[in-house]
Amino acid sequence: MSKKKAAIWISLVIIMLLIGWLNFKTPSNPVWLESGTEDNTSFLSDEYFIGLNDLFEKVRDDHKKWYIVDGSSEIAARAVIVKMMQDLESNPGALTNHENSVRYFETFDRNIRKAGSITEEVHFFRNTLNSYSGAPVSLDDMITLAAEGKWKLFSAKYHRYNHEGVKGALNLKFISKDGRFEAVYNSETGEMVTDPFNMGTYNYAPGSINPLKYYKHYTFDKQPWKKWGNESGVSFEDIMSLESGHGSSEEKNNSKEIKRWIKQRKEELKLE
């Protein structure tokens, strides 16, 4: 083949790829497909997760195009997410203490990241998932879990807003060992904080100093929070309008005291 013909063929291939790319359009509010399956497989069984993999492959193959970037994996991931949401809503008690509960969270999170973006409904579904954290109601019990290494005291910068007479400066955030679940407590009341301004939420992509992990956390958790808030009816702007106690001397002293409390509990439990 002459150089001229080779150049023509290469040009045609490039043009075809460009056409394919232009045909692939990701709408600003992606369509989240109905799963379109009737699956009687027992929820959370090993077969259930095999079925989710089969669903992903089927939807991906049905939407696969000839060009390199076709969006089929994103569409398939959304179909799996919809099905998992529907299945949990139909069986809310099944996930509690189930041997495959972690597998459910791992599969859900993995498909969230494959989907590339989330809708408002999926964002608020974090609250449903966070309800399975197993976090205790009282701060004292959480201190024990933190001393045992099952939860970790974390920065509560965005959870220290004064609301309904509760001092935000005294709020504390704990994150589960795997980074998925959050729980916020107030040291003055000794109870969990659940108001939509300061509440703990589920992380689809736990934060990290690792640049890639931080980017994913910003994309799937932080950015949607800025767009939609924590609950319907309470926007990010509503949250930011409240006075924050973060950075105050009261907050700093309180945080030091809680760290001392956790250390003391470790000593009491002879964990050091």
List of residues 6+ apart from 32 with CB closer than 8 A: 78, 81, 82, 119, 121, 122
Among 91, 117, 143, residue at a domain's last position = 117
Classify residue 259: in a domain, yes or no.
Answer: yes
What HEC string does 112-141 produce? Answer: HHHHCCCCHHHHHHHHHHHCCCCCCCEHHH
Q: What is the pLDDT of residue 185?
A: 98
Kindly report which listed range (35-44, 130-139, 198-207) carries the lowest average pLDDT score. 35-44
Tokens linked to 162: 């004064």
Residue 125 pLDDT more than 60? yes
Q: Mean pLDDT over residues 205-232, rounded?
A: 91
Classify residue 214: in a domain, yes or no.
Answer: yes
Classify residue 4: in a domain, yes or no.
Answer: no
Classify residue 226: in a domain, yes or no.
Answer: yes
Kindly report which listed range (25-34, 45-54, 112-121, 206-215) carries the lowest average pLDDT score. 25-34
Classify residue 69: in a domain, yes or no.
Answer: yes
Task: Name the pTM for this structure.
Answer: 0.84
Same domain, 148 and 101: no
The model's confidence at residue 66, banded by pLDDT at 50, 70 and 90, is confident
Same domain, 142 and 244: yes
What is the extent of the structural domain holding 90? 11-117
Same domain, 43 and 145: no
Tokens linked to 211: 């640049």
Instruction: Give the span between the Cα atoms of 272 and 269, in whole angstroms.
Output: 8
Same domain, 112 and 154: no
The answer to whether residues 184 and 167 touch, using CB atoms and an 8 Å cutoff, is no
Same domain, 175 and 262: yes
Same domain, 146 and 265: yes
Domain total in the chain:
2
Same domain, 143 and 225: yes
Residue 31 pLDDT more than 70? no
Same domain, 142 and 108: no
Tokens linked to 216: 């994913």
Same domain, 73 and 153: no
Classify residue 126: in a domain, yes or no.
Answer: no
Unique residue bearing structure tokens 């509503």: 238
DSSP structure class, residue 170: G
Q: Angle at the Cα of 229 (from 95 to 158), degrees rounded to 5? A: 95
Q: What is the pLDDT of residue 22?
A: 38
Among 66, 85, 117, residue at a domain's last position = 117
H-helix or E-strand spanning residue 262: helix 249-268
Residue 53 pLDDT more than 90? yes
Burial 145-169 (b: 16+ CB within 10 A, else e): bbbeeebebbebebbbbbbeebbbb
Classify residue 94: in a domain, yes or no.
Answer: yes
Classify residue 6: in a domain, yes or no.
Answer: no
Same domain, 98 and 138: no
For 22, counting Cβ atoms within 10 Å of its Cβ (0-12 exposed, 13-18 middle, 19+ buried), the class is exposed
Q: Mean pLDDT over residues 219-228, rounded?
A: 96
Same domain, 174 and 108: no
Same domain, 72 and 161: no
Among 117, 142, 161, residue at a domain's last position = 117
Instruction: Give the span between the Cα atoms of 145 and 124, in whole angstroms.
Output: 27
